[in-house]
Structure 1
Amino acid sequence: MAAEKPLVRNLAFPIMVNGCTGKMGKAVIEAATSAGLQLVPVSFSSEADDGKVMQLGGNDIHVHGPSGREVILASVFRENPDLIVVDYTVPSAVNDNAELYSKVGVPFVMGTTGGDRERLYKTVEDSKVYAVISPQMGKQVVAFLASMEIMAEQFPGAFSGYSLEVMESHQASKLDTSGTAKAVISCFQKLGVSFDIDQVQLIRDPKLQLEMVGVPEEHLAGHAFHMYHLTSPDKTVSFEFQHNVCGRSIYAEGTVDAAIFLASKVRSKADKRIYNMIDVLREGNMR
């Protein structure tokens, strides 16, 4: 009996990556083409990038600025009814982009962090479009986060009275506090720790990243180092949680898995419309 073909091949579909001028967008295109997905030669970006033609994944990608996006996306969606859009733009564009995708009715994976997340979810709920929305696309990091959420749910108050220090280092171009850090901190708060998001120590200076954090020089332009340090009230007990990521492949591969997952939900006409990466992990069938 012939071996069953991998899920990726069975679910080959057109994918549009918005933000292809950025490093994450480029990484997703590379991962998507390696997975055998059909890359749509159109991408949305900033006004400054309007008119550019990017050679990525063996294709010429035509980049469009904000003007006329609805007409362009609607046209692309008509030509590619199985289209999945992936968004890796900038935090300030999250809500406008989500409203565009929802208005046109195209399923999307929102990999961009930031924006008004409450408004983002309401936009998708009201439109009933299919979407994967997650502040973290790295599968293994998501698994860690899921375990934190289980601990917070099952053992509320377990760290009551403990003090928390959080340090996160990302490339200088990352404008906002890590969504993953916010999610982990929320778990610690449920576990009884008093901590405000503005207490997070953000490291964006390359010199400090090299000397204090220990980021390899070749990954200064793309990394995510997180450290969570808990200390008991009497200073006799401490716990440390840490996850260090160099490069972007972990996020790009997870994003492609999320797109494949979403395509399967659209094809099966699933009742649930909004998903996160924990849903993707629970489904299995990842590359």
Structure 2
Amino acid sequence: MNCIPLMINGLPGNVARIMAESACQDERFTLVPFSLTGEEITLGQVSVDQTKITLLKPSERENKIHEILESYPGCICVDYTHPTAVNDNAKFYVTHKIPFVMGTTGGDRQELERTVKNGSMPAVIAPNMAKQIVGLQAMLEYGANAFPGLFKGFTLQVKESHQQGKADTSGTAKALVACFNQLGTDFNLSDIEKIRDPKTQKENLGVPEEYIGGHGWHTYTLKAPDGSALFELTHNINGRQIYVAGTFDAVVFLKNQIDTNAFEQKLFTMIDVLTSGK
């Protein structure tokens, strides 16, 4: 496989930086020296592993994208920007026929799916790019379909803790709540306890101090009506390295779809990536 030109959007953000640094060390990819960023960002450039990356604001990107695509044919975009940018960025990618991996959560997800389906290139969209969590979600979805109503009458409590800068409620938590509701609980997404206070995270939850700025801790508690039975599911992720492998697998998956001209289906999830064996 030839090196895939990879444009990591969201710099100078932490997740985008980790993705870009990892791409520089991965022989499957060539890091495109441009990154879409927010209008409010004052930096014009950032350095990633001795590569200078030019940051492009929404007001600047139209003037550069044709040059970028000519210089880096076959470019695939990876989006770790901001929930408020999800839909505009997706429309930008589709307009310019750029396949993309949307790792950013939030935005209008139904509109996002419509945008991809109405375009001409494939995209991978998922609320979580960590392969193990995606697999866990798939197992819960299987259980919900196989045993609907299994926890009917049980109450559900959901706590999710992320770094202070995460603006939206966890997409993974929302997806798992849908499974639990199919299993019989009656839980409203607005009742998810969203924890963003560093002091609470450290003192009450026990998040290690070095990961206060980058973590994803989730606990789902199911309790019987009379309190005689309790089930709890916890997945705690420290740092962001776990998301790299899944994201890069999604990029390679898209590349394979394009090379084989196999994308009658244009909208893919991480489940598609995992089951493809690629």
Q: TM-score range by the shorter chain?
A: over 0.9
Residue in 2 aligned with 1:34? 25
Residue in 1 aligned with 2:8? 17
Deviation at 1:12, TM superposition (A): 2.2
Aligned amino acid, residue 239 of structure 1: F
Deviation at 1:121, TM superposition (A): 0.6
**Cα distance change, pair 11–132 in 1 and its aligned pair in 2 (3 A):** farther
Contact 1:50 1:65 in 2 (8 A): no
Give the gaps of 5 or more residues in structure 1: 1-9
Given the alignment of the two structures, is residue 113 of structure 1 paired with residue 81 of structure 2, yes or no?
no
Identity %: 44
Output the CA distance in 2 between the equivalents of 1:84 and 1:176.
Answer: 26
Deviation at 1:48, TM superposition (A): 3.0
Q: 1:201 aligns with which of 182, 193, 197?
A: 193
Output the CA distance in 2 between the equivalents of 1:209 and 1:77.
Answer: 43
Deviation at 1:234, TM superposition (A): 1.4
Residue in 2 aligned with 1:172? 164
Name the SS for the 2:118 alignment partner.
Answer: helix
Output the CA distance in 1 between the equivalents of 2:106 and 2:90.
Answer: 12
Output the CA distance in 2 between the equivalents of 1:128 and 1:153.
Answer: 32
Alignment of 1:82-161 (within 5 A): 82-161=74-153
Residue in 2 aligned with 1:211? 203
Deviation at 1:283, TM superposition (A): 1.6
Deviation at 1:241, TM superposition (A): 0.4
- Consecutive aligned runs of 4 or more in structure 1 exceeding 3 Å deviation: none
Residue in 1 aligned with 2:174? 182
Deviation at 1:51, TM superposition (A): 5.5
Given the alignment of the two structures, is residue 49 of structure 1 paired with residue 41 of structure 2, yes or no?
yes
Deviation at 1:57, TM superposition (A): 3.1
Name the SS for the 1:47 alignment partner.
Answer: coil
Deviation at 1:74, TM superposition (A): 2.6
Deviation at 1:194, TM superposition (A): 0.2
TM-score by length of 2: 0.96
Deviation at 1:275, TM superposition (A): 0.7
Output the CA distance in 1 between the equivalents of 2:75 and 2:226.
Answer: 56
Q: 1:76 aligns with which of 68, 90, 93?
A: 68
Output the CA distance in 1 between the equivalents of 2:212 and 2:75.
Answer: 34
Aligned amino acid, residue 174 of structure 1: K
Output the CA distance in 1 between the equivalents of 2:206 and 2:43.
Answer: 40
Output the CA distance in 2 between the equivalents of 1:119 and 1:162.
Answer: 33
Aligned residues: 276
Q: 2:275 aligns with which of 256, 262, 282?
A: 282
Instruction: Please give the per-residue CA displacement for 1:46-73, whole angstroms capped at 9, x wherever unaligned.
Output: 1233551111033110011111312322
Contact 1:109 1:259 in 2 (8 A): yes
Aligned amino acid, residue 6 of structure 2: I
